[in-house]
C-alpha cells in the first residue's frame, strides 16, 4: 500500500528559515501518517506475536503435503490388501467390506474439496447480514446447496474413519485376532483412513489460505 509522503527539503525556497520550518512540518505530517498506518495495521482480531504465514509458497507446500498424505493413506490400505493376499498366515482375509471405508473417505475428500469456497462465503455474507441485494435470494440458495454438499462430504469422511474402526473391532478384535501380523490389516485400514482425512483437512486449509491471500491482493 503506497502512502504519499511529503518531502520537505527538496522544495526550492527563498530563505533558510522557511526551509527549516517546512522540513519540520513535513516530518510532523509524516509521523502523523505513520501513526495512522500503525493503528490501522494493529487492528486485528487475534493478536498473534508472529505473522501468520499465508504466502503462496506455504500454500504450495501444504498442497504437496496433502498429496503426500493421501498417497500414504492409499498405500497403507493397499498394504493391508496385498498382505492379505500374499503373506497371510491366518484365516481372516480382506474382503470388500474393508474397501467400503476407504471408498467413502475418498469420495468424501473429492466432494469436500471440489466445492467452490466463494459460494460458501458469498452466501454467508448475503444471508447473515440481512442485505438483500439483486440476486441475493439466488446467492442464499447456492450457499444452502454448497453447505449441504459440504455436510454430505464431511459425513462421508467421518463415516469412512468410523467405518474402518468398526471393521477393526468387529472383524478382528471381537474374533480374538489380537496378535500383530493379523490385526495389522485392520490397523492399517484405520491409519489409512485417518491419513486421508488429514490430507483433506490440509488441502482445505491450503485453499482457504489462498482465499485470504488473494483477498489482501485485491484490496
Q: Which residues bind another protein (CB under 8 A)?
A: 60, 63-68, 70-72, 74-75, 78-79, 82-83, 85-87, 118, 203, 206-207, 210, 214
Minimum distance between the CB of residue 78 and another protein, rounded to whole angstroms? Answer: 6
Residue 10 DSSP symbol: T
Minimum distance between the CB of residue 43 and another protein, rounded to whole angstroms? Answer: 28
Closest CB to another protein among residues 55, 132: 55
Q: Measure CA 92 to chain center.
A: 39
Minimum distance between the CB of residue 137 and another protein, rounded to whole angstroms? Answer: 24
Closest CB to another protein among residues 5, 85: 85
In whole angstroms, give the CA distance from residue 163 to residue 105.
10
In whole angstroms, give the CA distance from residue 5 to residue 201.
44
Residue 150 DSSP symbol: H
Minimum distance between the CB of residue 157 and another protein, rounded to whole angstroms? Answer: 17
Closest CB to another protein among residues 90, 214: 214
Could you tell me which of 204, 170, 180, 40 has the C-alpha nearest to residue 95? 170
In whole angstroms, give the CA distance from residue 216 to residue 98.
45
The answer to whether the beta carbons of residues 113 and 207 sit under 8 Å apart is yes
Closest CB to another protein among residues 28, 85: 85
Amino acid at each position: 500500500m503506497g502512502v504519499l509522503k511529503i518531502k520537505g527539503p527538496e522544495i526550492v525556497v527563498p530563505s533558510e528559515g522557511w526551509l527549516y520550518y517546512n522540513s519540520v512540518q513535513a516530518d510532523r505530517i509524516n509521523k502523523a501518517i505513520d501513526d495512522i498506518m500503525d493503528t490501522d495495521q494493529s487492528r486485528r482480531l487475534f493478536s498473534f506475536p508472529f505473522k501468520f504465514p499465508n504466502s503462496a509458497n506455504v500454500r504450495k507446500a501444504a498442497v504437496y503435503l496433502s498429496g503426500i498424505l493421501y498417497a500414504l493413506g492409499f498405500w497403507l490400505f493397499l498394504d493391508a490388501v496385498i498382505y492379505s493376499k500374499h503373506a497371510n498366515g491366518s484365516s481372516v482375509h480382506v474382503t470388500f467390506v474393508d474397501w467400503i471405508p476407504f471408498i467413502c473417505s475418498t469420495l468424501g475428500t473429492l466432494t469436500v474439496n471440489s466445492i467452490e469456497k466463494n459460494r460458501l462465503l458469498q452466501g454467508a455474507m448475503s444471508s447473515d447480514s440481512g442485505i438483500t441485494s439483486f440476486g441475493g435470494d439466488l446467492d442464499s440458495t447456492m450457499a444452502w446447496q454448497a453447505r449441504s454438499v459440504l455436510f454430505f462430504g464431511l459425513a462421508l469422511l467421518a463415516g469412512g474413519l468410523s467405518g474402518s474402526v468398526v471393521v477393526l473391532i468387529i472383524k478382528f478384535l471381537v474374533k480374538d485376532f489380537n496378535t500383530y501380523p493379523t490385526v495389522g490389516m485392520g490397523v492399517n485400514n484405520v491409519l489409512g483412513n485417518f491419513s486421508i482425512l488429514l490430507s483433506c483437512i490440509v488441502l482445505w486449509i491450503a485453499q482457504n489460505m489462498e482465499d485470504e491471500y488473494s483477498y489482501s491482493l485485491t484490496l
